[in-house]
């Protein structure tokens, strides 16, 4: 059986309140009272849903991490295969209505709730797995190339997050050039 509609609405309102507050204050400055006031909910209602403000943030970050994880391998392979237009359009579709929230959450770096760090970690693991079969033949340390590949991916993701639709051949060409340079270090035949 699904969640009660009132519960869903209340949680959505509190999440939106936190996102709005995070555009004005740091996470440490935001209080439960602020969230309650902004979401028009009582403290008892807040605590019926969340342990504290960090629990609210952690659940939001977990939700967006799950959304990213569902498409991450496909987006990774689009980058590897040089399908930059598909990658960009796919990321835009993945973000759709989530982009404003993700922009805010990418600025919050708490120990248990760091969306940007979660994305980076997932991409780094993907790069490490991709490089593993070539490790013995590479002249450059695999961890360096995995980090460089991750940085390229994160830069593309963050740029799209900040700018939205980027249907621009020059941007795609620049991404492709950098992609090829990283892949050339793994195995020249991949390019």
Q: How do residues 5-27 score in pLDDT, each as one tens digit?
A: 889 999 999 999 999 999 999 99
Q: Which residues contact 154 (CB under 8 A, 6 or more apart)?
A: 116, 119, 120, 123
**Residue 188 confidence class, pLDDT cut points 50, 70, 90:** low
**Residue 166 confidence class, pLDDT cut points 50, 70, 90:** low
Average pLDDT estimate for 172-179: 90
Residue 191 pLDDT greater than 80, yes or no: no
Other Cβ atoms less than 10 A from the Cβ of 147: the count is 15
Burial class (CB within 10 angstroms; exposed 0-12, middle 13-18, buried 19+) of 141: exposed
Per-residue pLDDT, 25: 96
Residue 3 pLDDT greater than 60, yes or no: yes
Residue 65 pLDDT greater than 60, yes or no: yes
Whole-number percent of the chain with pLDDT over 70: 95
Measured over the CA atoms of residue 148, residue 149, residue 154 and residue 159, the dihedral's sign is positive
For 85-138, the pLDDT digits (tens) are: 888 888 888 888 899 999 999 999 999 999 999 999 999 999 999 999 988 888
Residue 28 pLDDT greater than 90, yes or no: yes
Per-residue pLDDT, 74: 92
Quickly count helices (H) and strands (E) in the chain: 9, 0
What is the model's pTM? 0.89
Q: Which residues contact 128 (CB under 8 A, 6 or more apart)?
A: 142, 143, 146
∠71-77-82 over CA atoms, to 5°? 125
Structure tokens at 61: 């970050």
**Closest residue by Cα to residue 27 from 52, 2, 7:** 52
Q: How far is 131 from 140, CA to CA, in rounded Å? A: 11
């Amino acid at each position: 059986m699904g969640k009660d509609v009132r519960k869903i609405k209340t949680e959505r309102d509190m999440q939106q309140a936190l996102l709005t507050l995070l555009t004005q204050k740091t996470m440490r400055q935001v209080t439960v009272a602020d969230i309650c006031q902004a979401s028009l909910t009582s403290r008892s209602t807040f605590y019926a849903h969340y342990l504290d403000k960090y629990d609210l943030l952690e659940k939001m970050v977990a939700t967006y991490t799950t959304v990213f994880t569902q498409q991450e391998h496909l987006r990774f392979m689009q980058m590897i295969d040089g399908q930059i237009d598909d990658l960009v359009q796919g990321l835009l579709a993945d973000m759709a209505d989530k982009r404003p929230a993700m922009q805010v959450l990418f600025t919050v770096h708490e120990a248990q709730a760091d969306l940007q760090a979660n994305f980076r970690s997932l991409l780094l693991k993907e790069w490490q797995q991709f490089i593993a079969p070539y490790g013995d033949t590479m002249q450059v340390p695999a961890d360096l190339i995995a980090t460089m590949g991750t940085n390229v991916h994160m830069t593309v993701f963050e740029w799209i997050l900040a700018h939205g639709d980027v249907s621009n051949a020059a941007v795609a060409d620049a991404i492709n050039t950098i992609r090829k340079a990283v892949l050339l270090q793994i195995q020249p035949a991949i390019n």
